[in-house]
Amino acid sequence: MTNKAREVIVLENLEQMTEVAVDAFKKIAKQAIKERGRFMLAFSGGKTPVNFYQKLAQNKKCSIWDNTHLFLSDERFVPLQNSASNFHLIKSTLLDKLCFNHFHAYPVEVAAETSSIAAKKYEEKIREIFHLKENELPEFDLIMLGMGADGHTASLFPNDSSLNEKRHLTCAVSNDQHEHERITLTLPVINRARNVIFLIEGAKKAEAVKVVIEGQNLNYPASLVKPSLGQVVFLIDTAAGGLLSNKGGE
Protein backbone atom coordinates (compact mmCIF):
# COMPACT_ATOMS: atom_id res chain seq x y z
CA MET A 1 0.00 0.00 0.00
CA THR A 2 1.18 3.54 -0.73
CA ASN A 3 0.44 6.66 1.29
CA LYS A 4 -1.84 8.14 -1.37
CA ALA A 5 -5.10 9.64 -0.08
CA ARG A 6 -7.03 6.97 -1.99
CA GLU A 7 -5.91 3.61 -3.24
CA VAL A 8 -7.86 0.97 -5.18
CA ILE A 9 -6.42 -2.54 -5.03
CA VAL A 10 -8.08 -5.25 -7.12
CA LEU A 11 -7.24 -8.79 -6.02
CA GLU A 12 -8.14 -12.22 -7.35
CA ASN A 13 -10.42 -13.27 -4.53
CA LEU A 14 -11.55 -12.75 -0.93
CA GLU A 15 -8.63 -14.79 0.41
CA GLN A 16 -6.11 -12.42 -1.16
CA MET A 17 -8.12 -9.39 -0.02
CA THR A 18 -8.07 -10.77 3.51
CA GLU A 19 -4.30 -11.25 3.47
CA VAL A 20 -3.73 -7.65 2.40
CA ALA A 21 -6.26 -6.43 4.99
CA VAL A 22 -4.60 -8.39 7.82
CA ASP A 23 -1.16 -7.02 6.90
CA ALA A 24 -2.52 -3.47 6.78
CA PHE A 25 -4.38 -3.97 10.08
CA LYS A 26 -1.19 -5.09 11.85
CA LYS A 27 0.91 -2.26 10.36
CA ILE A 28 -1.62 0.42 11.33
CA ALA A 29 -2.13 -1.06 14.79
CA LYS A 30 1.59 -1.28 15.58
CA GLN A 31 2.18 2.28 14.40
CA ALA A 32 -0.75 3.62 16.46
CA ILE A 33 0.38 1.81 19.61
CA LYS A 34 3.96 3.00 19.09
CA GLU A 35 2.93 6.62 18.51
CA ARG A 36 -0.08 6.97 20.85
CA GLY A 37 -0.08 3.93 23.09
CA ARG A 38 -3.39 2.57 21.81
CA PHE A 39 -5.17 1.47 18.64
CA MET A 40 -8.59 2.98 18.05
CA LEU A 41 -10.55 0.72 15.74
CA ALA A 42 -14.05 0.30 14.30
CA PHE A 43 -15.34 -2.87 12.62
CA SER A 44 -18.36 -3.37 10.37
CA GLY A 45 -20.83 -6.22 10.09
CA GLY A 46 -22.01 -8.09 7.02
CA LYS A 47 -20.62 -11.22 5.36
CA THR A 48 -17.51 -9.85 3.63
CA PRO A 49 -15.35 -9.21 6.71
CA VAL A 50 -16.03 -12.65 8.30
CA ASN A 51 -12.99 -14.20 6.59
CA PHE A 52 -10.88 -11.28 7.84
CA TYR A 53 -12.13 -11.68 11.44
CA GLN A 54 -11.50 -15.44 11.29
CA LYS A 55 -7.96 -14.80 10.05
CA LEU A 56 -7.27 -12.36 12.89
CA ALA A 57 -8.63 -14.94 15.35
CA GLN A 58 -5.94 -17.43 14.34
CA ASN A 59 -3.36 -15.39 16.26
CA LYS A 60 -5.00 -15.79 19.68
CA LYS A 61 -2.23 -14.13 21.67
CA CYS A 62 -1.64 -11.20 19.32
CA SER A 63 -0.44 -8.43 21.69
CA ILE A 64 -2.17 -5.80 19.55
CA TRP A 65 -5.47 -6.57 21.27
CA ASP A 66 -4.12 -5.56 24.67
CA ASN A 67 -3.96 -1.94 23.50
CA THR A 68 -6.94 -1.96 21.14
CA HIS A 69 -10.22 -0.12 21.68
CA LEU A 70 -12.79 -1.71 19.41
CA PHE A 71 -15.98 0.08 18.38
CA LEU A 72 -18.58 -0.71 15.72
CA SER A 73 -18.96 1.25 12.51
CA ASP A 74 -22.64 0.44 12.79
CA GLU A 75 -25.05 -1.88 14.56
CA ARG A 76 -28.53 -3.21 14.20
CA PHE A 77 -30.92 -2.30 17.04
CA VAL A 78 -31.39 -5.90 18.15
CA PRO A 79 -30.27 -7.80 21.30
CA LEU A 80 -26.56 -8.65 21.30
CA GLN A 81 -27.47 -12.37 21.24
CA ASN A 82 -29.45 -11.91 18.04
CA SER A 83 -27.71 -13.37 14.97
CA ALA A 84 -28.40 -10.06 13.16
CA SER A 85 -26.21 -8.20 15.66
CA ASN A 86 -22.88 -7.03 14.24
CA PHE A 87 -21.31 -7.30 17.69
CA HIS A 88 -22.57 -10.88 17.92
CA LEU A 89 -20.87 -11.60 14.57
CA ILE A 90 -17.55 -10.02 15.63
CA LYS A 91 -17.67 -11.61 19.09
CA SER A 92 -18.39 -15.11 17.77
CA THR A 93 -15.89 -15.04 14.87
CA LEU A 94 -13.09 -13.16 16.65
CA LEU A 95 -13.33 -11.86 20.21
CA ASP A 96 -14.37 -15.16 21.82
CA LYS A 97 -11.37 -16.87 20.21
CA LEU A 98 -8.73 -14.47 21.56
CA CYS A 99 -6.84 -15.23 24.77
CA PHE A 100 -7.77 -12.10 26.70
CA ASN A 101 -9.92 -12.00 29.83
CA HIS A 102 -10.53 -8.25 29.72
CA PHE A 103 -11.21 -6.57 26.47
CA HIS A 104 -11.69 -2.96 25.34
CA ALA A 105 -14.66 -3.66 23.11
CA TYR A 106 -17.66 -1.31 23.10
CA PRO A 107 -20.94 -2.73 21.84
CA VAL A 108 -23.82 -0.36 21.20
CA GLU A 109 -26.26 -0.27 24.15
CA VAL A 110 -29.04 -2.00 22.26
CA ALA A 111 -30.97 -2.52 25.50
CA ALA A 112 -31.78 1.21 25.44
CA GLU A 113 -35.45 2.13 25.08
CA THR A 114 -35.07 3.48 21.54
CA SER A 115 -32.45 3.44 18.79
CA SER A 116 -32.04 7.20 19.23
CA ILE A 117 -31.16 6.73 22.90
CA ALA A 118 -28.77 3.92 21.92
CA ALA A 119 -27.10 6.23 19.40
CA LYS A 120 -26.80 9.01 21.98
CA LYS A 121 -25.29 6.64 24.54
CA TYR A 122 -22.82 5.37 21.90
CA GLU A 123 -21.78 8.92 21.15
CA GLU A 124 -21.23 9.49 24.87
CA LYS A 125 -19.11 6.32 25.08
CA ILE A 126 -16.98 7.42 22.12
CA ARG A 127 -16.49 10.85 23.72
CA GLU A 128 -15.51 9.22 27.01
CA ILE A 129 -13.00 6.74 25.59
CA PHE A 130 -11.44 9.27 23.20
CA HIS A 131 -11.45 11.95 25.95
CA LEU A 132 -13.04 14.35 23.49
CA LYS A 133 -13.63 18.02 24.18
CA GLU A 134 -16.93 19.59 23.11
CA ASN A 135 -17.28 19.59 19.28
CA GLU A 136 -14.11 17.53 18.91
CA LEU A 137 -14.15 14.55 16.53
CA PRO A 138 -12.59 11.15 17.37
CA GLU A 139 -9.62 10.15 15.25
CA PHE A 140 -9.96 6.43 14.66
CA ASP A 141 -6.73 4.80 13.56
CA LEU A 142 -8.68 2.38 11.40
CA ILE A 143 -12.32 2.03 10.33
CA MET A 144 -13.16 -1.11 8.37
CA LEU A 145 -16.14 -0.71 6.06
CA GLY A 146 -18.15 -2.76 3.61
CA MET A 147 -20.43 -1.55 0.86
CA GLY A 148 -23.84 -2.68 -0.30
CA ALA A 149 -24.93 -2.96 -3.94
CA ASP A 150 -26.77 0.35 -3.42
CA GLY A 151 -23.54 2.07 -2.38
CA HIS A 152 -24.43 2.18 1.33
CA THR A 153 -21.67 1.86 3.87
CA ALA A 154 -21.87 1.36 7.62
CA SER A 155 -25.59 2.13 8.02
CA LEU A 156 -25.46 5.23 5.85
CA PHE A 157 -28.02 4.58 3.15
CA PRO A 158 -28.73 6.56 -0.05
CA ASN A 159 -30.96 9.62 0.35
CA ASP A 160 -31.11 9.22 4.12
CA SER A 161 -30.99 12.29 6.36
CA SER A 162 -28.13 10.66 8.32
CA LEU A 163 -25.84 11.59 5.38
CA ASN A 164 -26.28 15.24 6.32
CA GLU A 165 -25.48 14.82 10.01
CA LYS A 166 -22.60 17.15 10.73
CA ARG A 167 -22.70 17.59 14.51
CA HIS A 168 -23.30 14.17 16.08
CA LEU A 169 -20.82 11.29 16.05
CA THR A 170 -23.54 8.68 15.71
CA CYS A 171 -27.15 8.58 14.64
CA ALA A 172 -30.11 6.24 14.55
CA VAL A 173 -31.32 5.14 11.13
CA SER A 174 -34.63 3.50 10.30
CA ASN A 175 -36.28 2.94 6.97
CA ASP A 176 -38.74 0.43 5.62
CA GLN A 177 -36.14 -1.16 3.32
CA HIS A 178 -34.26 -2.58 6.28
CA GLU A 179 -35.60 -5.07 8.75
CA HIS A 180 -33.93 -3.51 11.76
CA GLU A 181 -33.37 0.00 12.97
CA ARG A 182 -29.66 0.84 12.93
CA ILE A 183 -27.11 2.94 14.78
CA THR A 184 -24.22 4.23 12.68
CA LEU A 185 -21.08 6.33 12.86
CA THR A 186 -21.66 9.53 10.91
CA LEU A 187 -19.63 10.78 7.95
CA PRO A 188 -17.71 13.41 9.95
CA VAL A 189 -16.38 10.60 12.16
CA ILE A 190 -15.55 8.28 9.26
CA ASN A 191 -13.83 11.12 7.37
CA ARG A 192 -11.74 11.98 10.42
CA ALA A 193 -10.17 8.50 10.49
CA ARG A 194 -6.48 8.09 9.80
CA ASN A 195 -7.21 4.96 7.76
CA VAL A 196 -10.39 3.57 6.18
CA ILE A 197 -10.31 0.18 4.49
CA PHE A 198 -13.23 -1.05 2.38
CA LEU A 199 -13.63 -4.78 1.78
CA ILE A 200 -15.89 -5.24 -1.26
CA GLU A 201 -16.38 -8.52 -3.11
CA GLY A 202 -18.78 -10.05 -5.58
CA ALA A 203 -20.19 -9.19 -9.02
CA LYS A 204 -23.42 -7.79 -7.54
CA LYS A 205 -21.44 -4.81 -6.32
CA ALA A 206 -19.62 -4.16 -9.62
CA GLU A 207 -22.01 -1.36 -10.70
CA ALA A 208 -21.75 0.42 -7.36
CA VAL A 209 -17.95 -0.03 -7.34
CA LYS A 210 -17.69 1.58 -10.78
CA VAL A 211 -19.81 4.54 -9.69
CA VAL A 212 -17.98 5.01 -6.41
CA ILE A 213 -14.48 4.64 -7.86
CA GLU A 214 -14.96 6.28 -11.26
CA GLY A 215 -18.15 8.29 -11.07
CA GLN A 216 -19.26 11.21 -8.98
CA ASN A 217 -22.65 9.96 -7.87
CA LEU A 218 -22.74 11.43 -4.41
CA ASN A 219 -26.01 9.62 -3.81
CA TYR A 220 -23.84 6.60 -3.11
CA PRO A 221 -22.78 7.01 0.52
CA ALA A 222 -19.51 5.15 -0.07
CA SER A 223 -18.62 7.99 -2.51
CA LEU A 224 -18.74 10.39 0.43
CA VAL A 225 -16.00 8.58 2.34
CA LYS A 226 -13.00 10.86 1.77
CA PRO A 227 -10.90 11.08 4.93
CA SER A 228 -9.75 14.71 5.28
CA LEU A 229 -6.33 13.81 6.67
CA GLY A 230 -6.22 10.05 6.28
CA GLN A 231 -6.19 7.39 3.61
CA VAL A 232 -8.99 5.30 2.15
CA VAL A 233 -8.14 1.96 0.57
CA PHE A 234 -10.64 -0.04 -1.49
CA LEU A 235 -9.79 -3.74 -1.41
CA ILE A 236 -11.88 -5.25 -4.20
CA ASP A 237 -12.00 -8.66 -5.80
CA THR A 238 -11.95 -9.02 -9.60
CA ALA A 239 -15.70 -9.70 -9.68
CA ALA A 240 -16.58 -6.48 -7.85
CA GLY A 241 -14.00 -4.62 -9.97
CA GLY A 242 -15.27 -6.18 -13.20
CA LEU A 243 -16.68 -2.92 -14.62
CA LEU A 244 -13.75 -0.68 -13.73
CA SER A 245 -11.99 0.94 -16.70
CA ASN A 246 -8.69 0.17 -15.00
CA LYS A 247 -9.21 -3.36 -13.75
CA GLY A 248 -5.87 -3.32 -12.00
CA GLY A 249 -7.04 -0.64 -9.62
CA GLU A 250 -5.17 2.61 -8.99
Q: Which stretch binds ligand 6PG (CB under 6 A): 93-101, 143-151, 219-227, 235-243?
A: 143-151
Give residues 155-174 in contact with ligand 6PG (rule: CB under 6 A): 155
Q: Which residue's CB is nearer to ligand 6PG, number 16 or number 31? A: 16
- Binding residue for ligand 6PG (CB under 6 A) from 21, 42, 44, 235? 44
Examine residue 148 and tell whether it contacts ligand 6PG (CB under 6 A).
Answer: yes
| 45 is a contact residue toward ligand 6PG (CB under 6 A) | yes
Residue 9 near residue 243, CB atoms below 8 Å: no
Please identify, using beta-carbon distances, which residue of 219 and 246 lies nearer to ligand 6PG: 219
Give the whole-angstrom CA distance, residue 172 versus residue 124: 14
CB proximity list for 172: less than 8 A, separation 6 or greater: 77, 114, 115, 116, 118, 119, 181, 182, 183
- CB of 47: closest distance to ligand 6PG in angstroms? 4
Q: How far is the CB of 245 from ligand 6PG (least distance, A)?
A: 23
C-alpha–C-alpha distance, residues 163 and 224, integer Å: 9
Closer Cβ to ligand 6PG, 154 or 187, answer by number: 154
107 near ligand 6PG, judged by CB under 6 A:
no
Size of the site for ligand 6PG (CB under 6 A): 15
Q: Which of residues 203-242 bind ligand 6PG (CB under 6 A)?
A: none
CA distance 73 to 140: 11
Bridge partners of residue 9, in order along the sequence: 235, 249
Please select the residue that binds ligand 6PG; options are 146, 151, 221, 230, rule is CB under 6 A. 146
Q: Which of 154, 213, 222, 236 binds ligand 6PG (CB under 6 A)?
A: 154
User: Which residue, judged by CB position, is nearest to ligand 6PG in the bound state?
Assistant: 146
CB neighbours (10 Å) of residue 218? 12
Binding status of residue 153 toward ligand 6PG by CB under 6 A: yes
Out of 46, 158, 188, 242, which residue is the one contacting ligand 6PG (CB under 6 A)? 46
Task: Give me the least distance between CB of 63 and ligand 6PG, in Å please.
Answer: 27
By CB under 6 A, name the binding residues for ligand 6PG.
Answer: 44-48, 73-74, 86, 146-148, 152-155
